[in-house]
Structure 1
């Protein structure tokens, strides 16, 4: 039998309208930590503005083998803001994420902890395979390629949803709470000693995924605006290319006019020029506006998340652990 581990593990689980799946989630957590009774575990459920009384159902459940806590946000702020709220209230020596659908197996906690004990600060869990549609695979693959090309060369091909890190990393995250940003990319960019493991993602048992197309597009924009100068460089490169082509085209038209006088003039050429010119201008202004808006948003220093209340669900676990 393994000796009790003095170090506390915090598992942060964002919850958004997961009322039907909560019994399965809590049952799985109880069974997992019962099998690994040597672990000291704290589970923080971050209720991200659920409208289906998910927080009430969490409070009703018996959290028997781990210390439980529910953080209720004042409204829906998004999963990344929910994870940041969980990190700010985590007491663990090791902190990791998981999700209410449990598509990412809880056994990853054991594997990542073993890697952490080798002297690592951050452990990533990379997906080996997923049962998603071709459109989702195409989006994920394209996102990974762009991130590798323009932001982080070590970004994994199939992305990541799960990570474990220590208090040192958590302190850096808490000291730099970024709005409109990816908490995963922020952790990736911190450096420190990192390693990775791989796993197979499971099928969702209950409910439907909250990871909508709109949220994916926002993540793509957030990732590039927050972590890469590629969009601004793209605008500059396009401007230079069109300027050079314009010089050559102007010279060519002058020569043709003087030597052959065979160019027909009229509105088609003018419309083409206007369409291309206004298109490039609008794209450039849109990208610049994204940066300006985020600069304004950061200068306002509005909170990334607002906590309504923190509910301690000690119940039977109260006699097992005590965390300040």
Structure 2
């Protein structure tokens, strides 16, 4: 019998955990209806939750000690750290990444297994057609983010792709071998390559609770993704700076010729001040882009761990 590791990040998800376990267990009963093919290995990663998530995980593990395991962080490190922790701890022949809120339908698992077993794929990802409960502005910005990152990145990231996917052990070993501290999993999954296909499904509502992602967190996540997988912002800053210099030279020539022709050195000072402010703004913008990359280098060079596991079982 082979093992499928299920990596499930949890942050304040106490109402969803039992619902998730029951739903996935029912799917595995279907998978093993004829013969015992796969045994699940549940790897719940408690990302510093402040509610009763950890006690519930402990109770669930005590009820199912052979299949349910948990890893609890010393504090909240973020979903990317939780995914990295789960991948590091997984031992299954196949490894799935899933959200505990059941927006990732576990009913897709049999089809994903079939594609890997019979079609030779190394990874089966998922794409959500639309997101229920997401405002139009957020949905629009999310769509544009994928357009931007696909245009400037060296790898293609499928629009509206979810973290929900099933991968072979070989692919997971490759991902865990990447030592980087700053992680954008969707980009990493695409960067390592391997034969990948995607399943599309209709948006599913949360089983319980509310989303913990704020608009600002999503915005920062998008910035991290762009910075981690493209140097295009640096090139854009270079081109903007070069264009500004060219415009400044033409401006100086205009002022010089105008002074010779008219002889009025006072007129036009408001436009000159505006130009100075514009150039100063461009410089600060360019420095901000450079600072983002330097901050990433700074974090990498400190060699701090991506997460700290306080307890596990």
TM-score (norm 1): 0.88
One of 163, 175, 178 as aligned partner of 2:177: 175
Asked whether 1:125 is paired with 2:126, we answer yes
1:193, distance to aligned residue in structure 2 (A): 1.6
**Distance in 2 between residues matched to 1:224 and 1:161, nearest whole Å:** 17
What secondary structure is seen at the aligned counterpart in 2 of 1:69?
strand
Task: Specify the alignment match of 2:71 in structure 1.
Answer: 71
**Distance in 2 between residues matched to 1:184 and 1:65, nearest whole Å:** 31
Contact 1:124 1:195 in 2 (8 A): yes
Gaps of 5+ in 2: none
Task: Specify the alignment match of 1:3 in structure 2.
Answer: none
One of 131, 136, 139 as aligned partner of 1:137: 139
Task: Specify the alignment match of 2:41 in structure 1.
Answer: 42
Task: Specify the alignment match of 1:15 in structure 2.
Answer: 10
One of 14, 17, 26 as aligned partner of 1:31: 26
Structure 1 stretches of 4+ with a deviation exceeding 4 A read 62-66, 260-264
Task: Specify the alignment match of 1:238 in structure 2.
Answer: 240
1:299, distance to aligned residue in structure 2 (A): 0.7
Task: Specify the alignment match of 2:253 in structure 1.
Answer: 251
Q: How does 1:272-283 map to 2 (within 5 A)?
A: 272-283=274-285
For the structure 1 residues 264 and 247, does the alpha-carbon distance in structure 2 shift closer, same or farther, using more than 3 Å as the test? same
**Distance in 1 between residues matched to 2:9 and 2:287, nearest whole Å:** 36
Task: Specify the alignment match of 1:309 in structure 2.
Answer: 311
**Distance in 2 between residues matched to 1:137 and 1:297, nearest whole Å:** 31
One of 272, 287, 292 as aligned partner of 2:294: 292
**Distance in 2 between residues matched to 1:236 and 1:254, nearest whole Å:** 27
Instruction: Give the CA RMSD over aligned residues.
Output: 2.0
TM-score (norm 2): 0.91
Asked whether 1:223 is paired with 2:222, we answer no
Task: Specify the alignment match of 1:115 in structure 2.
Answer: 115
Count of matched residue pairs: 306
1:59, distance to aligned residue in structure 2 (A): 2.0
What secondary structure is seen at the aligned counterpart in 2 of 1:120?
coil
**Distance in 2 between residues matched to 1:283 and 1:232, nearest whole Å:** 11
**Distance in 2 between residues matched to 1:66 and 1:276, nearest whole Å:** 64
Contact 2:5 2:90 in 1 (8 A): yes
